[in-house]
Amino acid sequence: DTEVTQTPKHLVMGMTNKKSLKCEQHMGHRAMYWYKQKAKKPPELMFVYSYEKLSINESVPSRFSPECPNSSLLNLHLHALQPEDSALYLCASSPAPRNEQYFGPGTRLTVT
Amino acid sequence: LAKTTQPISMDSYEGQEVNITCSHNNIATNDYITWYQQFPSQGPRFIIQGYKTKVTNEVASLFIPADRKSSTLSLPRVSLSDTAVYYCLVGELADKLIFGTGTRLQVFP
């Protein structure tokens, strides 16, 4: 298995909802990442997990809460989002920190 | 982290070689140079990474001059499917990648 999978592909949620995005990889990678990408803009790093520990949090609002239950799985819990949080959320993994990253297809999130 | 500057867009025709140059004047000694490709509504895809001189793989070549203040991604004989955004990134810590604005490559028949 040589890919990063993300579910769901699309998500529409209200501002009072709680939802979660899921990312999975079975390549034995030990670093995993969340990015946010707005239309026609480059991806912006949100969080980095290195060996299942949160190593980087790029000053992301607390309404985004990451979780890494094990080395293959990465979740992003969403609560009380704002319409401006609508974006493509990308997950990536790398064999180890400092290696090249492999991205999933993303979850298209719309907050209404 | 070193800032990168790339052309906003480039046009080419099928079968031509495309060279995209990235400027990174304040690159640090331990920094690597990495290029990613992104199609609309998809995640970026790793293309190539290098530190100095020349690196080649099955899809591209990366040329880095001795002063390392710039780099050039070379795509041989592009096809329509190479139409995408290409990002140049520079940094020691690959886990803290900062994507620049990227170069939007349009390939015409």
Residues on chain A touching B46 (C-beta within 8 angstroms): 100-102
Residue B97, chain A, CB below 8 Å: the answer is yes
Which of A33, A74, A101 would best serve as a mutation to test chain B binding (most B beta carbons within 10 A)? A101
The answer to whether B88 touches B10, Cβ cutoff 8 Å, is no
pLDDT in tens, A15-49: 989 999 999 999 999 999 999 999 989 999 999 99
pLDDT tens, A1-15? 669 999 999 999 999
Interface A-B, measured as beta-carbon pairs within 8 A, has a size of 55
pLDDT tens column, A62-112: 999 999 999 999 999 999 999 999 999 999 999 987 778 899 999 999 999
Per the CB < 8 Å rule, is B95 touching A50? yes
- Nearest by Cα to B107 from B71, B68, B66, B79: B79
Bond before A83 cis per omega within 30 degrees: no
pLDDT of residue B93: 59
- The 10s digit of each residue's pLDDT in B44-87 is 999 999 999 999 999 999 999 999 999 999 999 999 999 999 99
- Looking only at the bridges linking them, the beta strands covering B9-13 and B103-108 are parallel
Chain B residue whose CA is closest to A89:
B43
| Counts for chain B of helices (H) and strands (E), in that order | 0, 9
Query: DSSP code of B31?
Result: -
| Beta-carbon separation of A42 and B87 below 8 A | yes
Asked if B98 has any chain A CB less than 8 Å from its own CB, the reply is yes
Q: CA–CA distance from B91 to each of A111, B2, B8, B37, B50 (Å)?
A: 33, 7, 21, 17, 11
